[in-house]
Amino acid sequence: MKKTLRELAKHQNIDTLIIHSLDLCLYQASVIIDNEEFYVADDIGNLVRAHSLTDIQRQCQNIPSKSQRMRQESAYDEMVGAPDKGDGNRLDVYISDNKLY
């Protein structure tokens, strides 16, 4: 499910803004509200995307979240033929918005 930037700016109980690192220089955002995850979209319904961490933070600067995390899924085990670990190789770290934009 998606929520727009405009809707999220008015929301009061956003637990976490998650910035997904998808590829070398591609980021998307989602939010967790009441233990449910929603992708962040612009006003016409397209998912918010950026080519740098700073740019995605700039686009999401009006979302009043309690915390921010960056999440990256790795396909390393699959690429080298290692057995599946079940829960994947997820890197999930807390970050802060230093407002460098």
Half-sphere exposure of 63 (CA within 13 A, CB side): 32
Q: Which of the four pLDDT bands, split at 50, 70 and 90, describes residue 88?
A: low
pTM of the shown model: 0.85
Q: Which of the four pLDDT bands, split at 50, 70 and 90, describes residue 24?
A: confident
Please state, in angstroms and rounded to a whole number, the distance separating the CA atoms of residues 56 and 50. Answer: 5
Residue-level pLDDT at 101: 86
Give strand pairing partners of 21: 27, 72
3-state DSSP assignment of residue 17 = strand
pLDDT in tens, 53-68: 999 999 999 999 999 9
Residue-level pLDDT at 14: 97
- Beta strand 89-95 with 26-33 is unpaired
